[in-house]
Amino acid sequence: MAKKPKAQQNIQQVDSSTILVSPAYQRPDDQKRYTRIAEHFDWDKFGVPVIYMGENGPEACDGQHRISGVQLVYPEGVMINCLVITTPPHKYFGSQNDERRNVKPNDVWWADHAGGESKQRALFKMMKRIGIQLVRPTKGRQPKTTDCCSQVATLQDIRDCQTAKNFERLFRYLTKRFPMEGQALTVGFLRGVKFAVDRIGLDKVIENLDDFDGLTSDNIVSYAKTILPSSSSDGLMTAVMLTLTLRKHLRAAKKAAK
């Protein structure tokens, strides 16, 4: 029987008023949630928050709303038991929350970005160079301007499968071809782009998009529903991109039906 690893938990008492709760390393703050915790505060339900001793003092890694709640109840501070870890907050957040349904991949991406991870920083700079500002929505509200995008995790998936040169070429083309008037780059649009590029390659995607002179951001949804309604469950943009890959077959079928 293999030996059990030695317990390495490090429980320390920490002044609650000194703990930094940063939304950069967490899900967005839910003020209603931690206010409710403060209003019905119960030490028996408080548990043991997880913190990291950073350069500027203790930082919350898990239990952000409980810590914010106790800070409301005891603004002067109170000693609380905390599990002190050696993993930086953004890495802990990602490793603990990758499979949790209430934590979105975009939040994990922003935590990595705040932690200085090179992939996320490089994507942020590249999109800014293209003319698209990556933003983190407030309380689930998505940006509605032409030059903003919040779907950072999907963008990262596309970037990871493309060279920097091809990725930049693709998005410079898309922002010119589909200005997305009054809209942001949606997750359906981006997944559709990735689907098509993976399937037929970047050059073919651009070639096929250029062939559809009447295809604009205004009629793209109705076009998808008309041509390929069966794929709408996978996202309307995926449906549109699939029609581009099967363009010749669709035209032949339409001609035969007349």
pLDDT score, position 13: 94
pLDDT score, position 176: 78
Q: Is the dihedral of CA 221, 224, 227, 230 positive or negative?
A: negative
pLDDT band at 228 (very low <50, low <70, confident <90, very high): very low
CA gap 36, 39 in Å, rounded: 5
Between 63 and 223, whose confidence is greater? 63
Tally: H helices and E strands in the chain: 12, 6
The whole-number average pLDDT for the span 95-112 is 71
Among 110, 130, 128, which Cα is nearest to 120's? 110
pLDDT score, position 255: 62
**Category of 18 on φ-ψ map: left (φ > 0), alpha (ψ -120 to 50) or beta:** alpha
Domain 11-97 has CATH 1.10.3470: no
CA gap 112, 104 in Å, rounded: 13
User: Which helix or strand (DSSP H or E) is residue 82 part of?
Assistant: strand 79-85
> Which stretch, 2-6, 78-82, 83-87, 110-114, has highest mean pLDDT?
78-82
pLDDT score, position 74: 95
CA gap 186, 60 in Å, rounded: 32
In degrees and rounded to multiples of 5, residue 14 shows phi and psi of -130, 140
**Which residues of the chain form CATH 3.90.1530?**
11-97
Q: At what angle do helices 236-245 and 220-227 cross, to 10 degrees?
A: 60
Residue 84 one-letter amino acid: V
pTM for this prediction: 0.61
**CB-hemisphere CA count at 13 Å for 213?**
0
Beta carbons of 191 and 237 less than 8 angstroms apart: yes
Q: What is the pLDDT of residues 19-63, one digit of tens each?
A: 998 877 777 777 888 899 999 999 999 999 999 998 888 998 888
